[in-house]
Every structure is written in structure tokens, then in C-alpha cells.
Amino acid sequence: THCLTTAAGAPVARFSTVAGERGAADAERDIRRLFSYGDAARRLGVNHQHIPVNAPR
């Protein structure tokens, strides 16, 4: 997106790199995790236990 790159296309850090604080990679991972849980729930649905890989042995 526009806020993540410069005009030349080089990545720009969105967060400061103060020692002891989490960086951009951690924040981006957390955001992806929030979306992935909801996405998985929508894809698998209420009958997720009937999918062979999720079924109890």
C-alpha cells in the first residue's frame, strides 16, 4: 500500500525501532493472525469435525 512504500518502491518501517519494543514484523504477524482465525472459521464452517484431517481418531 501507499503508506508502506516510498515513491521508489523501497519498504519503509512503520514503527520505531526503540530497544525493547516490538517491531513491525510482530505487529504485522499479529494482524494476520486476527484475520486468519476468522477466515478459517468461515471456510471450515460448523461441520469442521467432519473434515477428515480434523476428525478425531
37 is in an annotated binding site: yes
Residues 6+ apart with CB under 8 A from 56: 49
pLDDT of residue 11 exceeding 70, the answer is: no
Average pLDDT over residues 28-37: 78
Are 14 and 4 spatial neighbours (Cβ–Cβ below 8 Å)?
yes
pLDDT of residue 53 exceeding 80, the answer is: yes
For residues 14 and 45, which has the higher predicted lDDT (pLDDT)? 45
Q: What is the pTM of this model?
A: 0.31
Average pLDDT over residues 20-49: 75
What are the sequence ranges of the domains in the chain? 2-45
Residue 53 amino acid letter: V
